[in-house]
Amino acid sequence: MDTIFLVVSLFLPRTVLIVYYFLHQVPANNMPFIGDALLTVFLPRVLVLIYVADNLGTANPWFWIHLVVAVFVYLGFGKYGKRKMRRKGD
C-alpha cells in the first residue's frame, strides 16, 4: 500500500478512495465491487480499515491508527459532533 494513500485516507477517506479508483490503483482486496461501491459511499473509513487489514495485517501500526481515528470520528469527536454537544448544553 502507498504511504500517501494511508496518510490522506486518515483525513479524506472518501476522496482518496474515489481518486485511487479512477487511477486504477485501488489496493488489493477480497471485497466484491458492489461492496466497494457501497462502503465508499456510506462507510469509507470501514473500507479503508478492510484494505489495511487485508494488505498489511492487523498487527501493523497503520491499522491501529486508522481504527482509532475511525472511532473518534464515529463517536462525534469531529466538527459535527462538537456542534451537537454544544446544542445539548444549551
d(CA 72, CA 18) in angstroms, rounded, equals 23
- By percentage, how much of the chain surpasses pLDDT 70? 86
Closest by Cα among 67, 65, 55 to 31: 55
Average pLDDT over residues 23-29: 89
**Which secondary-structure segment (H or E) carries 58?**
none
Q: What angle do CA 23, 27, 80 make, to 5 degrees?
A: 85
Residues 36-63: pLDDT tens digits? 999 999 999 999 999 999 999 999 999 9
Percentage of the chain modeled with pLDDT above 90: 70
Confidence class of residue 29 from pLDDT cuts 50, 70 and 90? confident
Band (27; pLDDT cuts 50, 70, 90):
confident
Residue 81 has pLDDT above 80, yes or no: no
